[in-house]
Homo-oligomer: A and B are copies of this chain.
Amino acid sequence: MHNRHGAIGVFDSGVGGLTVVRQLEARLPSESVIYLGDTARVPYGTKSPETVIRYAESCARLLLERDIKLLVVACNTASAFAIDALRERLDVPVLGVIDPGAQAAVRTTQRGRIGVIGTVGTIQSERYRDAIHDQNPDLVVFSQPCPLFVPLAEEGWLTGEVPESVATTYLGPLLAENIDTLVLGCTHYPLLKDTIAKVAGDAVTLVDSAEETALVVEHSLDAMDLRCDHPLIPQFRFLVSDAPANFEKVGAHFLGHVMTEAEWVDV
């Protein structure tokens, strides 16, 4: 039913998921991507499971109307709360960012002590802990919600006194547990990587699920025989539910280059 030349659909609550698009672009240069940022209702990380599921489904259905061949939920909170509902209700393969991030953490850890940071919703869902334990129940997982990291990243305060002070407060309990691996369980957090790495110290390896997610997308397309096999020029389209101007400006940081014009859609 889905054809090889359909785009990969990606959605996030806002701009954060563009870090996943950036990795898809690098790994799968012949694939087209259509991205939806639900910027009118951002953030998802502080909201209830019921509301996140409702919003995620409306985003997914909007992308399905555009004939996508695979859906990537590039938002940790939506992956945590809505992935089961989306797989049940939608007629398209659905991948999230939590399982790939958990796999990367399991491969990375040396001493079996893994820290996970994310939004309140992602941490409360315990989906990272479950995904890690599904692969190896002997690993010890320590979690910490970091609600101020998203506004810091969006404000562009990425280094300096304030972000370091915030990171020191949040990471303190995890570092006290002697973790050796830290999962950045929110697509906004890679922007704060330098500050988080500085506070976490050399003994802790950071895991960013965006790169791992692109790898899983590649394997899934291969498995379903859905890789684009024509030398078409890949298309990148960006949709947003709030005014496009700010998204285009902030989004360039996440994407790593200037983006094409974004289009407003009514979710």
Contacts and interface: CB of A to CB of B under 8 A. Distances in A.
A47 B148 contact: no
A41 B247 CA distance: 17
Interface in A23-45: 39-42
Report copies per complex. Answer: 2
A152 B148 contact: yes
A165 interface: yes
A51 B152 contact: no
Q: How large is the interface on A (under 10, 10 to 19, 20 to 34, 35 or more residues)?
A: 20 to 34
B46 A40 contact: no
Main secondary structure of the interface of A (DSSP, over half): helix
A40 B48 CA distance: 8
B151 A161 contact: no
A242 B47 contact: yes
Contacts of A162: 148, 162, 165-166, 169
Contact of A147 (B49, B155, B165, B241): B155
Contacts of A40: 41, 47, 51, 55
A39 to B, nearest CB: 7
Contact of A51 (B49, B148, B242): B242
Contacts of A148: 148, 151-152, 155, 157, 162
Given A39-B47, A40-B47, A242-B48, A165 B155 contact: no
A147 B42 CA distance: 14
Contacts of A169: 162
Interface string A123-160: 00000000000000000000000011011101101000
A242 B40 CA distance: 15
Nearest to A41: B41
B50 A243 contact: yes
Given A41-B41, A47-B39, A242-B48, A154 B147 contact: yes
A154 B46 contact: yes
Interface in A154-206: 154-155, 157, 161-162, 165-166, 169
The 6 closest A-B pairs by CB, nearest first: A48-B243, A151-B151, A40-B51, A51-B242, A162-B165, A47-B242
Given A40-B55, A51-B243, A162-B169, 11 more contacts: A40-B41, A46-B154, A47-B242, A47-B243, A48-B242, A48-B243, A48-B245, A147-B155, A148-B152, A150-B151, A162-B165
